[in-house]
Structure 1
């Protein structure tokens, strides 16, 4: 199996598990020492998102996912594009979720960058504009401006 084929297989397993809520399978695609980069924390801006930052290792990733699922109810999450080349995969995800505390929905599109080595994800990084998430966490409804 070529490097690209192996990466595609791991990425497809990751995204299928992620979008169906199969966290056990998703976690099993991660290397024990995975580098997990879920945005860069910007104090006063996106630090309302308590699950973001950099984590290292499968257990630390599970901890961040538990914080996320404790705060947010994911309504739909689907893979809309996947690009794979060598050890790199980029998946575009469309997500609609509701913040549990505020009841406010948000809709985002985000990219996950995966690096695969020896059949496991060794590096994961997420990219998106977090404005919709922050708005929902703060309880602002779509179209509202909180002054």
Structure 2
């Protein structure tokens, strides 16, 4: 049997962490966002598929805050994020799922893209210990390719 008070307290803590994380991203403050990650965070940003989405040089699995920051630097070196908004946030116990709408432009091609993606967070002791994203990358790949619309 689950202790309602404990589960509720965990959910409240998870919601606070997730809300802070998404607010930092929406404001474009990557440094503040990194503060929400555990030192040993497991970060799963899609799975690279050779010949398909591997042009997205920032994707893959990272372990630890330092690797995640390097991945962010690669992403922000290639893409200007125009806006990121949380569309929906669902929180239960130590899990949070946020649906995010992102509008960005690929610097090299000048092509915009807009995606909705899910960020699945696992939170412990106020820190994100696991982050995994889900999306259809076709709009990003199209913008990276350049050429006619």
Write the distance in 1 (CA, Å) between the matches of 2:138 and 2:126.
Answer: 34
Instruction: Using structure 1 for the length normalisation, give the TM-score.
Output: 0.94
Secondary structure of the residue that 1:46 maps to in structure 2?
Answer: coil
1:134 is matched with which residue?
A: 141
Write the distance in 1 (CA, Å) between the matches of 2:59 and 2:15.
Answer: 26
2:3 is matched with which residue?
A: none
Is residue 99–residue 137 contact of structure 1 (8 Å, CA) maintained in 2? yes
1:16 is matched with which residue?
A: 23
Deviation above 6 Å: which 4+ runs of structure 1? none
Write the distance in 1 (CA, Å) between the matches of 2:148 and 2:135.
Answer: 20
- Give the deviation of 1:91 after TM superposition: 0.4
1:43 is matched with which residue?
A: 50
Structure 1, residues 22-70: CA drift from partner, whole Å, max 9, x if none? 1121100000000000000100000000000000000000000000000
Secondary structure of the residue that 2:52 maps to in structure 1?
Answer: coil
Is residue 35–residue 124 contact of structure 1 (8 Å, CA) maintained in 2? yes
Is residue 135–residue 141 contact of structure 1 (8 Å, CA) maintained in 2? no
Q: Does 1:106 align with 2:106?
A: no
Write the distance in 2 (CA, Å) between the matches of 1:132 and 1:104.
Answer: 10
1:77 is matched with which residue?
A: 84
Aligned CA-pair RMSD:
0.9
Q: How many residues align?
A: 142
Write the distance in 1 (CA, Å) between the matches of 2:134 and 2:92.
Answer: 19
- Give the deviation of 1:140 after TM superposition: 3.9
2:131 is matched with which residue?
A: 124
Indicate how the Cα distance of structure 1 residues 141 and 80 shifts in structure 2: closer, same or farther if over 3 A, else same. Answer: farther
Secondary structure of the residue that 2:49 maps to in structure 1?
Answer: coil
Write the distance in 1 (CA, Å) between the matches of 2:79 and 2:134.
Answer: 18
Instruction: Using structure 2 for the length normalisation, give the TM-score.
Output: 0.93
1:145 is matched with which residue?
A: none
Write the distance in 2 (CA, Å) between the matches of 1:109 and 1:67.
Answer: 20
